[in-house]
Amino acid sequence: MWGGRFDKAPADRARAFTRSFPIDRRMYREDIVASRAHAAMLGRSGLLPQDSVRAIIEGLDGLLEELVACGGPSLTDDEDIHSFVERELTERIGEDGRRLHFARSRNDQVATDFRLYCKGFSLRLADALLDLMEVLVTRAAEEAETVAPGFTHLQVAQPITLGHYFLALTEMHERDLAEVIRAFSAADVCPLGSGALSGVPYDIDREGVAEELGFSQISRNSLDAVADRDFVTVILNACAGLAGHLSRWSEDLVVWASPGYQLIRFDEAYSTGSSMLPQKQNPDIAELTRARAASVLGVAVGWQATLKGVPLAYGLDLQEDKRAVFGVEDDLLVGLSAITGAIATATIDRARMADLARQGYPEAIEIADYLSELGLPFRDAHAAAGRLVRLAESKNVALLGLDDSDFSDVDARLPGEIRNRLDLRGIVDRRSSYGGTAPALVADEANRARQRIDWNRDRLRELVRDGLPQPLRGIIGD
């Protein structure tokens, strides 16, 4: 494409290093759709004859139909997806194919294609995330009354309901969803028409192209338009945050599935065994989710390290944005699907949950609260409850195993009523402040969370409908 300036062809080893077609060929839909919009605009603006425009559009439509049918381009010797499309188009329609690149640079072309791709990726990611959130909310409703251990420092702290735990995960992922949608908005700017960096010397219809491609706005500065990859940073940071959240509760699941805890058992379809040890059933889905989070974080940090050294407007460094995003997309979408299935089919040992929730004297705060209600300053009440814990430890009994005299030795007001305050179910029932773990609150919040998921589903459908051109909508799902 630049042979007129050069006497020598690229060295094989140089071309092997710089060509991107093996990576960016998955962007074939976006490149063809954007090229089609560009050709139509050239016709409307009188920059290309209508016969040439019709030939280009028909050729691009035919190419797209064939590539979709066969699952995308096979690996060829082309430099990148853009040269592949131009070559294929020219072979089909002849000289008119070589007119397509008029009033367009590779710089604004690739930025447009990749913004379209990142918009689609953010919506695919949102769709998968909503699938996971639906499972979490379903499990929360199922386990709204299941007493479970609440941990701090991996030690039992207070009893909670397991439904409360699942809703905590839902809250985390609602924030992730907001960041993913923000990534869609960051990419929703059309740079086509910016040329190499300074614009083009023609009266082109940039607004019309943006509307046809589903962009809500056009870039305001041609230099920034071809240099900007902040939208890539936004989507990678959103992915890193999501992966970090997945890793945190995958770590919980790995611990809970271990012999020392035995709180949860993964379905055999979402477990693996050992090639040597016949008895093993390993939580590999959760473990690999935890590991992939480190990979996603590394890519996000590595991308920012790449971007910080690229002077305006363009350097081939920016070509690495595809490698970063495509790898993260593959890791996250497959991982989200797997962990969604794993948590949907996992079995909870409710009796073991309740047994573990009793360990470590989690009722102690009830004693401190009770004494505070009777007028004792909380710090004094806290100290009294601590003395009872030490006494129970020395006798190797639970707090309810202490004698009335043990309670009265610490505070004469304790015997009697306090025993009614130490039942685990009563403890969780009393945590009834808004956002608390009481079963009734959990059930209500699960319903509200499901309503928010439904609202976000509708919002996602609107973004697909309004934010992507028709040929790109089918790759999001329902």
- Are 132 and 216 in a shared domain? yes
**DSSP helix/strand/coil, 6:** coil
Q: Which of 102, 121, 150 is the last residue of a domain?
A: 102
Rounded Cα distance between 396 and 95, Å, is 90
Helix (H) or strand (E) holding 152: strand 147-152
Overall average pLDDT of the 59-78 stretch: 95
Evaluate whether residue 278 is within a structural domain. Answer: yes
Q: pLDDT of 356-403, one tens digit each?
A: 999 999 999 999 999 999 999 999 999 999 999 999 999 999 999 999
Residue 164 is among the residues annotated as catalytic for this protein: no
- Are 186 and 248 in a shared domain? yes
Catalytic one of 198, 216, 274, 337: 274
pLDDT of 232 = 98
CA angle at 36 for the pair 195 and 207, rounded to the nearest 5°: 55
pLDDT of 476 = 60
Rounded Cα distance between 388 and 250, Å, is 36
pLDDT at residue 294 greater than cutoff 50: yes
pLDDT of 61 = 98
Burial (Cβ within 10 Å: 0-12, 13-18, ≥19) of residue 13: exposed
- Are 298 and 185 in a shared domain? yes
Percent of the chain clearing pLDDT 90 (strictly above): 89
Q: What is the CATH number of the domain that holds 376?
A: 1.10.40.30
- Are 177 and 278 in a shared domain? yes
For residue 372 the two structure tokens come to 């505070």
pLDDT of 281 = 85
Evaluate whether residue 429 is within a structural domain. Answer: no
Evaluate whether residue 4 is within a structural domain. Answer: no
Overall average pLDDT of the 207-225 stretch: 97
Q: For the whole model, what pTM was predicted? A: 0.93
* Total number of domains in the chain: 3
- Are 53 and 113 in a shared domain? no
First-residue to last-residue Cα distance in the chain:
40
Evaluate whether residue 430 is within a structural domain. Answer: no
pLDDT of 468 = 95
Evaluate whether residue 153 is within a structural domain. Answer: no
Q: What is the CATH number of the domain that holds 56?
A: 1.10.275.10
Comparing CA positions, the residue from 426, 358, 381, 414 lying closest to residue 403 is: 414
- Are 374 and 452 in a shared domain? no
pLDDT at residue 285 greater than cutoff 60: yes
pLDDT at residue 96 greater than cutoff 60: yes
Rounded Cα distance between 328 and 293, Å, is 10
- Are 194 and 127 in a shared domain? yes
- Are 242 and 295 in a shared domain? yes
pLDDT of 478 = 45
Q: Which of 10-14, 22-26, 174-178 has the highest mean pLDDT?
A: 174-178
Q: pLDDT of 405-416, one tens digit each?
A: 999 999 988 887
Write the CA distances from 285 to 127, 138, 221, 228, 462, integer angstroms.
Answer: 20, 20, 46, 36, 33
Evaluate whether residue 9 is within a structural domain. Answer: no
**Backbone phi and psi for residue 166, each to the nearest 5 degrees, phi listed first:** -65, -35
Q: At CB < 8 A and 24+ separation, what contacts does 10-16 make?
A: 15/79
Q: pLDDT of 310-340, one tens digit each?
A: 999 899 999 999 999 999 999 999 999 999 9
pLDDT of 1 = 60
Q: Is the dihedral of CA 24, 26, 27, 31 positive or negative?
A: positive
Q: pLDDT of 141-195, one tens digit each?
A: 999 999 999 999 999 999 999 999 999 999 999 999 999 999 999 999 999 999 9
DSSP 280-302: --B-HHHHHHHHHHHHHHHHHHH
For residue 455 the two structure tokens come to 């609202």
CA angle at 39 for the pair 53 and 25, rounded to the nearest 5°: 120
pLDDT of 448 = 98
Residue with tokens 């386990």: 143
Overall average pLDDT of the 119-123 stretch: 97
Comparing CA positions, the residue from 122, 119, 132, 118 lying closest to residue 335 is: 132
For residue 20 the two structure tokens come to 């991107």
Could you tell me the residue range of the domain that residue 62 belongs to? 19-102
Write the CA distances from 339 to 290, 309, 478, integer angstroms.
Answer: 11, 37, 20
Tell me the sheet residues that pair with 264.
Answer: 348
pLDDT at residue 129 greater than cutoff 80: yes
pLDDT at residue 2 greater than cutoff 60: no
Residues with Cβ within 8 Å of 236's Cβ and at least 6 positions away in sequence, in order, are 296, 299, 300, 303, 324, 325, 328
Comparing CA positions, the residue from 97, 106, 88, 110 lying closest to residue 53 is: 97
- Are 278 and 181 in a shared domain? yes
Catalytic one of 153, 275, 394, 405: 153
- Are 132 and 237 in a shared domain? yes
- Are 383 and 352 in a shared domain? no
- Are 266 and 378 in a shared domain? no
Residue 274 is among the residues annotated as catalytic for this protein: yes
Overall average pLDDT of the 289-295 stretch: 96
The one-letter amino acid code at 309 reads G
Q: What is the CATH number of the domain that holds 128?
A: 1.20.200.10
Evaluate whether residue 457 is within a structural domain. Answer: yes
Overall average pLDDT of the 433-437 stretch: 96
Evaluate whether residue 5 is within a structural domain. Answer: no
Residue with tokens 């071309």: 15
Rounded Cα distance between 272 and 266, Å, is 10
Helix (H) or strand (E) holding 307: helix 284-307
